């Protein structure tokens, strides 16, 4: 006879937040819209990508972004600059792309080499072509919860995954682990906008587990394999595993073994946030074109 608690415990149910499937829906929708525009004689949108140096991960990410763009009928244009490029040289290339009528969106892949002034590079991109949403004009609108700016790709992808997966954000305790300008901070801002109560944790947080155990929504974006162990997750929580840590030629996130046994919703990794980031970039590129040339 099993213990009585066992008999009444409900079986663990878990929803997979399938980024590949949701991204496909979004890309299919954009493909239809791009097709209609081109059929009406309008120019095809175009994404210009810039990589400085020869970081293999950056090359891989940018190739995937271009592939997704092409899949929906958006052209792409690839710019490679040598590792020793100066800030002025990068800013000059960005200025050329800003002036180029045929370019809808500009993506300068990060990280950039150390000698490059990141702020100068980020503010050089015309905010209307800033498909990453990194320019302070766009980031400022997001920070203030105001409409009209470009939404940052990974944070917006996370929100779309949660909402389409049936996770209630309003009133939830959300904990974001990681405070980068690309993921952690803007994700926290988008969650606040949707009325979650948000805590941002980071490498200097004391007693991380005490925070994560209270999380109805846990966004792991620290870039540290096994940082979030099973006992740090509230049973039934929605867990979003953002990081793409490269280990032994494969990709792992920040979650330790067994998190899937307690999470109520979980993003696969790979196949969760990554495809959503790219879908949001493609959507931003399409929207940048519409805004500039309705
Ligand atoms: N590096 C890591 N993620 C991103 C991103 O979303 N955009 C750019 N430009 N660089 C990145």
- For residue 117, what pLDDT is reported? 98
For domain 41-128, the CATH architecture is 3-Layer(aba) Sandwich (3.40)
- For residue 11, what pLDDT is reported? 56
Q: How far apart are CA 142 and CA 280, in angstroms?
A: 15
CA of 187 to the centre of ligand 1 (A): 14
Region 229-235 average pLDDT: 98
Q: Which of 51, 111, 182 to mutate to test the pocket of ligand 1 (most atoms within 8 A of CB)?
A: 182
Region 103-123 average pLDDT: 98
Q: Of 93, 26, 12, 57, whose CA–CA distance to 285 is shortest?
A: 26
Please count the other Cβ atoms lying within 10 Å of the Cβ belonging to residue 2: 7
Closest C-alpha residue for ligand 1 atom 9: 109
CA of 107 to the centre of ligand 1 (A): 8
Q: How far apart are CA 93 and CA 90, in angstroms?
A: 5
pLDDT in tens, 44-69: 999 999 999 999 999 999 999 999 99
pLDDT in tens, 33-45: 999 999 999 999 9
Paired residues of 255 in beta bridges: 228
Give buried/exposed letters for 33-58 (b at 16+ CB in 10 A, else e). Answer: bbeebeeeeeeebbbbbbbbbebeeb
Region 143-171 average pLDDT: 97
Q: How far apart are CA 11 and CA 224, in angstroms?
A: 31
CA of 217 to the centre of ligand 1 (A): 23
Q: Of 52, 71, 53, whose CA–CA distance to 283 is shortest?
A: 71
Q: Which of 132, 243, 276, 285 to mutate to test the pocket of ligand 1 (most atoms within 8 A of CB)?
A: 132
Mean pLDDT for the chain overall: 95
Region 286-292 average pLDDT: 97
Q: Would you place residue 133 in the very low, low, confident or very high pLDDT band (cuts 50, 70, 90)?
A: very high
- For residue 248, what pLDDT is reported? 86
Fold matches, 41-128 and 152-274: yes
Please count the other Cβ atoms lying within 10 Å of the Cβ belonging to residue 59: 15
3-state secondary structure 249-269: CEEECCECCCHHHHCCEECCC
CA of 97 to the centre of ligand 1 (A): 18
pLDDT in tens, 258-275: 999 999 999 999 999 999
Q: Of 14, 25, 13, whose CA–CA distance to 164 is shortest?
A: 25
CATH superfamily for domain 152-274: NAD(P)-binding Rossmann-like Domain (3.40.50.720)
Q: Residues near 266 by Cβ (< 8 Å), separated by ≥ 6?
A: 14, 15, 16, 17, 238, 239, 241, 259, 260
Q: How far apart are CA 252 and CA 17, in angstroms?
A: 16
Percent of the chain predicted with pLDDT > 90: 94
Q: How far apart are CA 205 and CA 273, in angstroms?
A: 24
Q: How far apart are CA 203 and CA 117, in angstroms?
A: 25
pLDDT in tens, 195-208: 999 999 998 999 99
Q: How far apart are CA 286 and CA 277, in angstroms?
A: 14
Q: Would you place residue 13 in the very low, low, confident or very high pLDDT band (cuts 50, 70, 90)?
A: confident
- For residue 10, what pLDDT is reported? 52
Q: Which of 66, 109, 110, 151 is catalytic?
A: 109
- For residue 249, what pLDDT is reported? 83
Q: Residue 5 pLDDT more than 50? A: no
Q: Are 127 and 147 in contact, with CB atoms under 8 Å apart?
A: no
Closest C-alpha residue for ligand 1 atom 11: 110
Please count the other Cβ atoms lying within 10 Å of the Cβ belonging to residue 32: 12
Region 122-139 average pLDDT: 98
Q: How far apart are CA 6 and CA 106, in angstroms?
A: 56
E strand or H helix at 200: strand 197-201
Atom of ligand 1 at shortest distance to CA of 107?
9
109 is catalytic: yes
Listed by start position, the domains of the chain span 41-128, 152-274
């Amino acid at each position: 006879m099993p213990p009585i608690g066992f008999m009444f415990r409900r079986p663990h149910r878990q929803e997979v937040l399938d980024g590949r499937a949701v991204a496909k829906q979004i890309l299919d929708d954009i493909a239809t819209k791009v097709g209609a525009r081109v059929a009406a004689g309008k120019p095809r949108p175009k994404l210009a990508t810039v990589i400085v140096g020869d970081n293999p991960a950056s090359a891989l990410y940018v190739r995937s972004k271009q592939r997704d763009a092409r899949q929906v009928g958006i052209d792409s244009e690839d710019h490679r600059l040598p590792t020793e490029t100066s800030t002025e040289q990068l800013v000059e290339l960005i200025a050329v792309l800003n002036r180029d009528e045929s370019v809808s969106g500009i993506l300068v892949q990060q990280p950039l080499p150390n000698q490059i002034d990141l702020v100068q590079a980020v503010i050089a991109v015309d905010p209307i072509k800033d498909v990453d949403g990194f320019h302070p004009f766009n980031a400022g609108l997001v920070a203030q919860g105001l409409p009209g700016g470009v939404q940052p790709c990974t944070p917006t992808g996370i929100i779309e995954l949660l909402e389409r997966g049936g996770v209630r954000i309003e009133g939830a305790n959300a904990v974001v682990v990681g405070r980068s300008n690309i993921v952690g901070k803007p994700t926290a801002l988008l969650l606040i906008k949707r009325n979650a109560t948000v805590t941002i944790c980071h490498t200097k947080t004391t007693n991380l587990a005490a925070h994560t155990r209270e999380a109805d929504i846990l966004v792991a974006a620290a870039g540290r394999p096994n940082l979030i162990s099973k006992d740090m997750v509230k049973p039934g929580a929605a867990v979003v595993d953002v990081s793409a840590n490269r280990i032994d030629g494969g990709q792992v996130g920040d979650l330790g073994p067994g998190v899937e046994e307690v999470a109520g919703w979980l993003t696969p990794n790979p196949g969760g946030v990554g495809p959503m980031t790219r879908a949001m970039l493609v959507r931003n590129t399409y929207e940048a074109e519409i805004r500039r040339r309705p």
